[in-house]
Structure 1
Amino acid sequence: MPQHEAIVAVLRQADQVLVIRRGPGARMPGYWAPLSGTLEPGESQEDALVREVQEEVGLAVTPLAKVWESTAAGGDYVLHWWTADASAGEVTADPREVSETRWVTPAEFLALQPIFAGDREFFAEVLPRL
Protein backbone atom coordinates (compact mmCIF):
# COMPACT_ATOMS: atom_id res chain seq x y z
CA MET A 1 0.00 0.00 0.00
CA PRO A 2 1.32 3.51 -0.71
CA GLN A 3 2.95 5.28 2.18
CA HIS A 4 2.25 8.88 3.06
CA GLU A 5 5.07 11.23 3.93
CA ALA A 6 5.30 13.31 7.07
CA ILE A 7 7.77 15.74 8.56
CA VAL A 8 9.07 15.75 12.15
CA ALA A 9 10.47 19.04 13.46
CA VAL A 10 13.37 18.85 15.91
CA LEU A 11 13.50 22.37 17.37
CA ARG A 12 16.42 22.75 19.75
CA GLN A 13 17.36 25.30 22.40
CA ALA A 14 20.66 24.45 24.06
CA ASP A 15 20.20 20.81 25.19
CA GLN A 16 16.39 20.86 24.97
CA VAL A 17 13.86 20.00 22.25
CA LEU A 18 10.33 21.40 21.90
CA VAL A 19 7.73 18.64 22.28
CA ILE A 20 3.95 18.68 22.41
CA ARG A 21 1.18 16.63 23.91
CA ARG A 22 -1.07 15.95 20.92
CA GLY A 23 -4.42 17.73 21.14
CA PRO A 24 -7.96 16.45 20.56
CA GLY A 25 -7.88 17.15 16.81
CA ALA A 26 -4.58 15.33 16.21
CA ARG A 27 -4.00 11.70 15.26
CA MET A 28 -3.23 9.69 18.42
CA PRO A 29 -4.20 12.47 20.90
CA GLY A 30 -2.52 12.48 24.31
CA TYR A 31 0.87 11.26 23.06
CA TRP A 32 3.98 13.34 23.70
CA ALA A 33 5.96 13.90 20.49
CA PRO A 34 7.99 16.43 18.54
CA LEU A 35 5.99 18.64 16.18
CA SER A 36 4.99 16.79 13.02
CA GLY A 37 2.61 16.81 10.10
CA THR A 38 1.79 15.39 6.69
CA LEU A 39 3.36 16.68 3.49
CA GLU A 40 0.79 18.14 1.11
CA PRO A 41 0.92 17.18 -2.61
CA GLY A 42 3.86 18.89 -4.32
CA GLU A 43 5.19 20.32 -1.05
CA SER A 44 8.89 20.00 -0.19
CA GLN A 45 9.97 18.62 3.17
CA GLU A 46 11.38 22.05 4.09
CA ASP A 47 8.12 23.83 3.19
CA ALA A 48 6.08 21.29 5.17
CA LEU A 49 8.35 21.79 8.19
CA VAL A 50 7.90 25.58 8.11
CA ARG A 51 4.11 25.32 7.60
CA GLU A 52 3.46 22.67 10.27
CA VAL A 53 5.46 24.47 12.98
CA GLN A 54 3.71 27.77 12.14
CA GLU A 55 0.27 26.09 12.24
CA GLU A 56 0.84 24.11 15.44
CA VAL A 57 2.84 26.49 17.66
CA GLY A 58 3.05 29.82 15.80
CA LEU A 59 6.84 29.88 15.44
CA ALA A 60 8.77 30.81 12.30
CA VAL A 61 11.53 28.28 11.64
CA THR A 62 14.50 27.82 9.33
CA PRO A 63 15.07 24.19 8.27
CA LEU A 64 18.67 23.09 8.87
CA ALA A 65 19.19 19.43 7.95
CA LYS A 66 17.39 16.13 7.53
CA VAL A 67 18.88 13.97 10.28
CA TRP A 68 16.88 10.74 10.26
CA GLU A 69 14.11 8.78 8.54
CA SER A 70 11.78 6.28 10.15
CA THR A 71 8.39 4.64 9.66
CA ALA A 72 5.41 5.57 11.84
CA ALA A 73 3.97 2.98 14.22
CA GLY A 74 1.17 1.95 11.87
CA GLY A 75 3.58 1.62 8.95
CA ASP A 76 1.56 4.01 6.77
CA TYR A 77 3.86 7.04 7.06
CA VAL A 78 7.51 7.64 6.21
CA LEU A 79 8.77 10.22 8.73
CA HIS A 80 11.43 12.72 7.65
CA TRP A 81 13.18 14.13 10.76
CA TRP A 82 14.59 17.65 10.34
CA THR A 83 16.44 19.94 12.71
CA ALA A 84 15.38 23.58 12.52
CA ASP A 85 16.14 26.92 14.14
CA ALA A 86 13.12 28.67 15.65
CA SER A 87 12.80 32.44 15.71
CA ALA A 88 12.54 34.13 19.06
CA GLY A 89 8.92 34.42 20.10
CA GLU A 90 6.17 32.94 22.17
CA VAL A 91 5.00 29.41 21.56
CA THR A 92 1.29 29.80 20.73
CA ALA A 93 -0.29 26.37 20.52
CA ASP A 94 -3.24 25.58 18.25
CA PRO A 95 -5.63 24.05 20.86
CA ARG A 96 -7.05 21.50 18.39
CA GLU A 97 -3.61 20.13 17.54
CA VAL A 98 -1.64 20.76 20.74
CA SER A 99 -2.83 20.41 24.34
CA GLU A 100 0.53 21.21 25.97
CA THR A 101 4.07 22.25 24.95
CA ARG A 102 7.30 21.67 26.83
CA TRP A 103 11.05 22.15 26.25
CA VAL A 104 12.72 18.94 27.43
CA THR A 105 16.10 17.24 27.48
CA PRO A 106 16.29 13.80 25.85
CA ALA A 107 16.19 12.16 29.30
CA GLU A 108 13.10 14.17 30.29
CA PHE A 109 11.37 13.21 27.04
CA LEU A 110 12.10 9.52 27.58
CA ALA A 111 10.39 9.77 31.01
CA LEU A 112 7.13 11.14 29.53
CA GLN A 113 4.13 8.84 28.96
CA PRO A 114 2.86 7.90 26.49
CA ILE A 115 5.43 8.27 23.70
CA PHE A 116 5.84 6.47 20.37
CA ALA A 117 8.50 3.77 19.98
CA GLY A 118 10.07 5.62 17.03
CA ASP A 119 10.32 8.83 19.03
CA ARG A 120 11.94 6.88 21.88
CA GLU A 121 14.53 5.51 19.43
CA PHE A 122 15.25 9.01 18.07
CA PHE A 123 15.70 10.62 21.50
CA ALA A 124 17.74 7.70 22.88
CA GLU A 125 19.90 6.80 19.84
CA VAL A 126 19.93 9.54 17.19
CA LEU A 127 19.64 12.89 19.00
CA PRO A 128 22.67 12.32 21.29
CA ARG A 129 24.87 11.96 18.18
CA LEU A 130 23.70 15.20 16.51
Structure 2
Amino acid sequence: MADPIVVVGAALLDGGRLLAARRSAPADLAGRWELPGGKVEPGERPEDALVRELREELGIDADPVERVPGQWPLRAPYVLRVWTARLRPGSPAPRPLQDHDELRWLTPAELWDVPWLDQDVPAVRDVAPRLTAAGR
Protein backbone atom coordinates (compact mmCIF):
# COMPACT_ATOMS: atom_id res chain seq x y z
CA MET A 1 0.00 0.00 0.00
CA ALA A 2 1.30 3.44 -0.91
CA ASP A 3 2.04 6.02 1.76
CA PRO A 4 -0.83 8.44 2.33
CA ILE A 5 -0.62 11.92 0.86
CA VAL A 6 -0.59 14.44 3.71
CA VAL A 7 -2.96 17.40 3.73
CA VAL A 8 -1.99 20.03 6.29
CA GLY A 9 -4.54 22.12 8.14
CA ALA A 10 -3.88 25.27 10.15
CA ALA A 11 -5.57 25.95 13.45
CA LEU A 12 -4.71 29.64 13.13
CA LEU A 13 -4.97 31.22 16.58
CA ASP A 14 -5.07 34.94 17.29
CA GLY A 15 -6.17 36.65 20.50
CA GLY A 16 -8.05 33.61 21.79
CA ARG A 17 -9.87 33.11 18.47
CA LEU A 18 -9.66 30.41 15.78
CA LEU A 19 -9.89 31.15 12.05
CA ALA A 20 -12.52 29.15 10.16
CA ALA A 21 -12.78 29.17 6.36
CA ARG A 22 -15.96 28.35 4.41
CA ARG A 23 -15.39 26.15 1.35
CA SER A 24 -16.62 27.42 -2.00
CA ALA A 25 -15.46 24.30 -3.91
CA PRO A 26 -15.75 21.45 -4.69
CA ALA A 27 -19.55 21.33 -4.75
CA ASP A 28 -19.84 18.48 -2.22
CA LEU A 29 -17.87 20.53 0.36
CA ALA A 30 -19.17 24.02 -0.49
CA GLY A 31 -20.78 25.84 2.44
CA ARG A 32 -19.02 23.73 5.10
CA TRP A 33 -16.23 25.17 7.24
CA GLU A 34 -12.66 23.97 7.64
CA LEU A 35 -9.23 24.74 8.95
CA PRO A 36 -7.41 26.23 5.93
CA GLY A 37 -4.51 24.36 4.35
CA GLY A 38 -3.73 21.97 1.54
CA LYS A 39 -1.61 19.18 0.11
CA VAL A 40 2.05 18.70 0.93
CA GLU A 41 4.04 18.63 -2.32
CA PRO A 42 6.62 15.85 -2.93
CA GLY A 43 9.83 16.65 -1.05
CA GLU A 44 8.17 19.45 0.97
CA ARG A 45 8.11 19.49 4.78
CA PRO A 46 4.55 19.65 6.16
CA GLU A 47 5.36 22.83 8.08
CA ASP A 48 6.62 24.49 4.86
CA ALA A 49 3.48 23.37 3.03
CA LEU A 50 1.38 24.98 5.76
CA VAL A 51 3.17 28.32 5.36
CA ARG A 52 2.83 28.13 1.55
CA GLU A 53 -0.84 27.13 1.58
CA LEU A 54 -1.78 29.92 4.00
CA ARG A 55 0.01 32.43 1.77
CA GLU A 56 -1.78 31.09 -1.35
CA GLU A 57 -5.25 30.65 0.18
CA LEU A 58 -5.42 33.59 2.60
CA GLY A 59 -2.60 35.98 1.62
CA ILE A 60 -1.03 35.80 5.08
CA ASP A 61 2.37 35.10 6.59
CA ALA A 62 2.08 32.59 9.41
CA ASP A 63 4.32 30.42 11.55
CA PRO A 64 3.47 26.82 12.48
CA VAL A 65 3.60 26.42 16.27
CA GLU A 66 2.93 22.78 17.14
CA ARG A 67 1.37 19.68 15.67
CA VAL A 68 -2.06 18.70 16.97
CA PRO A 69 -1.85 15.00 17.95
CA GLY A 70 -3.41 12.51 15.56
CA GLN A 71 -4.32 12.41 11.90
CA TRP A 72 -7.68 11.99 10.21
CA PRO A 73 -8.55 10.11 7.03
CA LEU A 74 -9.80 12.06 4.03
CA ARG A 75 -10.68 10.53 0.68
CA ALA A 76 -8.01 7.90 -0.06
CA PRO A 77 -5.06 8.31 -0.32
CA TYR A 78 -5.17 11.54 1.74
CA VAL A 79 -4.83 12.10 5.50
CA LEU A 80 -5.24 15.36 7.42
CA ARG A 81 -2.62 16.53 9.92
CA VAL A 82 -3.16 19.79 11.77
CA TRP A 83 -0.75 22.32 13.26
CA THR A 84 -1.55 25.30 15.41
CA ALA A 85 -0.24 28.46 13.76
CA ARG A 86 -0.01 32.19 14.42
CA LEU A 87 0.16 35.25 12.23
CA ARG A 88 3.63 36.71 11.83
CA PRO A 89 3.98 40.32 13.02
CA GLY A 90 3.14 42.63 10.11
CA SER A 91 1.19 39.97 8.19
CA PRO A 92 -1.80 41.29 6.26
CA ALA A 93 -5.23 40.28 7.55
CA PRO A 94 -6.48 36.96 6.12
CA ARG A 95 -8.78 37.16 3.12
CA PRO A 96 -10.32 34.37 1.02
CA LEU A 97 -8.25 34.12 -2.19
CA GLN A 98 -9.04 30.59 -3.39
CA ASP A 99 -11.25 27.65 -2.34
CA HIS A 100 -13.10 29.79 0.24
CA ASP A 101 -15.79 32.49 0.11
CA GLU A 102 -15.88 33.58 3.76
CA LEU A 103 -13.61 33.64 6.80
CA ARG A 104 -14.62 34.00 10.45
CA TRP A 105 -12.59 34.44 13.62
CA LEU A 106 -14.42 32.29 16.18
CA THR A 107 -14.26 32.81 19.93
CA PRO A 108 -14.54 29.73 22.19
CA ALA A 109 -18.28 30.44 22.58
CA GLU A 110 -18.76 30.58 18.78
CA LEU A 111 -16.62 27.55 17.90
CA TRP A 112 -19.55 25.26 17.07
CA ASP A 113 -21.71 27.93 15.36
CA VAL A 114 -20.44 26.80 11.94
CA PRO A 115 -20.93 23.40 10.22
CA TRP A 116 -17.35 22.06 10.24
CA LEU A 117 -16.24 19.42 7.76
CA ASP A 118 -16.36 16.07 9.57
CA GLN A 119 -12.61 15.46 9.37
CA ASP A 120 -11.86 18.86 10.98
CA VAL A 121 -14.07 18.30 14.04
CA PRO A 122 -11.53 16.23 16.08
CA ALA A 123 -8.79 18.83 15.51
CA VAL A 124 -11.11 21.72 16.43
CA ARG A 125 -12.13 19.82 19.56
CA ASP A 126 -8.45 19.34 20.46
CA VAL A 127 -7.61 23.02 19.88
CA ALA A 128 -10.64 24.41 21.78
CA PRO A 129 -8.96 24.38 25.24
CA ARG A 130 -6.03 26.34 23.81
CA LEU A 131 -8.40 29.14 22.80
CA THR A 132 -9.69 29.48 26.33
CA ALA A 133 -6.14 29.53 27.67
CA ALA A 134 -5.00 32.03 25.01
CA GLY A 135 -7.92 34.34 25.75
CA ARG A 136 -6.99 34.70 29.44
Please report the TM-score for the alignment, with normalisation by the length of structure 1.
0.83
Distance 1:26 1:60 in 2: 28
1:91 partnered with 2:94: yes
1:62 aligns with 63
Unmatched 5+ stretches in structure 2: 131-136
1:112 partnered with 2:114: yes
- Mark the CA change 1:27 to 1:97 in structure 2 (over 3 Å): closer, same or farther: farther
Give the structure with the higher percent strand. 1
- For residues 34-90 of structure 1, the C-alpha deviation after alignment (integer angstroms, 9 at most, x for no partner) is 102000000001110000000000000111111223223435322121111113422
- Count of matched residue positions in the alignment of Structure 1 and Structure 2: 127
Cα deviation for residue 91 of structure 1 reads: 1.7
Q: Which amino acid aligns with 2:61?
A: A
- Mark the CA change 1:123 to 1:89 in structure 2 (over 3 Å): closer, same or farther: same
2:134 aligns with none
Distance 1:10 1:117 in 2: 15
Q: CA RMSD in A?
A: 2.1
Identity of aligned residues (%): 31
Which of the numbers 77, 100, 103 marks the counterpart of 2:102?
100
- Mark the CA change 1:58 to 1:49 in structure 2 (over 3 Å): closer, same or farther: same
2:11 aligns with 10
Distance 1:8 1:103 in 2: 16
Please report the TM-score for the alignment, with normalisation by the length of structure 2.
0.80
Secondary structure of the residue aligned to 2:35 is strand
- Mark the CA change 1:24 to 1:75 in structure 2 (over 3 Å): closer, same or farther: closer
Unmatched 5+ stretches in structure 1: none
